[in-house]
Amino acid sequence: MSTQETAHQGKQEFNITVYTENQIGLLNRIAIIFTRRKINIDSLNTSPSEIDSIHRFTIVIDETEEVVRKVCRQIEKQVEVLKVYYHTNADVIWQEMALYKVSAEVIAEKAG
């Protein structure tokens, strides 16, 4: 989806990247910063980052930049959060991946 398509009332899709310690309960501590302002989280992924022992949250929300900036500062002040960045879709490179399920028989036929 392009930025223009989702833009309404100055809102657009933002990708928030949060680098954190790997700590029980931190997911909730971060999530409630959004729910407190009644912001819907469109997507949330958490996994180990490329840096050993540091985890990364990738959160996608539809909001104004002003609100995103404030939310990011409130996330960044959590004790176990190292750094927060936010980007619009235009700022980041998107890679899309698809997984297709193909019948083995079809492959076998072609191979034959």
Partner 1 sequence: MEALQEVLTEPQQKEAIEMSGSAALLEALIVEGVSTIFGYPGGAIMPIYDALYDYKEKLNHILVRHEQGGIHAGQGYARSSGQVGVVFATSGPGATNLVTGLADAQIDSTPLVCITGQVFAHLLGTDAFQETDVINITTPVTKWNYQITDAEEIPEIIAKAFYIARTGRPGPVLIDITKNAQIQKFAYKGYTPCNHIRSYRPKPIVRPQFIEQAAQLINEAKKPFILWGQGVLLGNAEQEFKAFIEKAGIPAAWTILGVGAIPTDHPLNVGMLGMHGNYGPNVLTNECDVLIAIGMRFDDRVTGRLDKYAKQAKIIHLDIDPAEIDKNVQTTVAVWGDCKETLPLLTQLVEEKQHTDWVNKFYDFADRENEAVIDAELHPTEGEMTMGEVVDQLNRLTNGDAVIVTDVGQHQMVGCRYAKFNHTRSNITSGGLGTMGFALPAAIGAKFGAQDKTVVAIIGDGGFQMTLQELGTIMQSGVDVKILILNNRFLGMVRQWQELFNERRYSFVDIQSPDFVQVAKGYGIAGRCVNERSELQDALKEMLNHQGSFLLEVMVTKENNVFPMVPQGCSVSEIRLK
Q: Which residues bind partner 1 (CB under 8 A)?
A: 20-21, 24-25, 28-29, 32, 36, 69-70, 73-74, 76-77, 79-82
Nearer to partner 1, 28 or 95 (CB): 28
Q: How far is the CB of 54 from partner 1 (least distance, A)?
A: 9
Helix (H), strand (E) at residue 42: strand 41-48
CA neighbor of 59 nearest in space, from 12, 95, 13: 13
Could you give the residue ranges of the DSSP H alpha helices within the chain? 3-6, 26-36, 65-76, 104-111
Nearer to partner 1, 41 or 89 (CB): 41
Nearer to partner 1, 17 or 74 (CB): 74
Nearer to partner 1, 21 or 42 (CB): 21
Half-sphere exposure of 96 (CA within 13 A, CB side): 2
Residue with structure tokens 């840096």?
Answer: 51
**Contact indicator for 87, 68 with CB cutoff of 8 Å:** no
Q: How far is the CB of 7 from partner 1 (least distance, A)?
A: 23
Q: How far is the CB of 94 from partner 1 (least distance, A)?
A: 29
Q: How far is the CB of 28 from partner 1 (least distance, A)?
A: 6
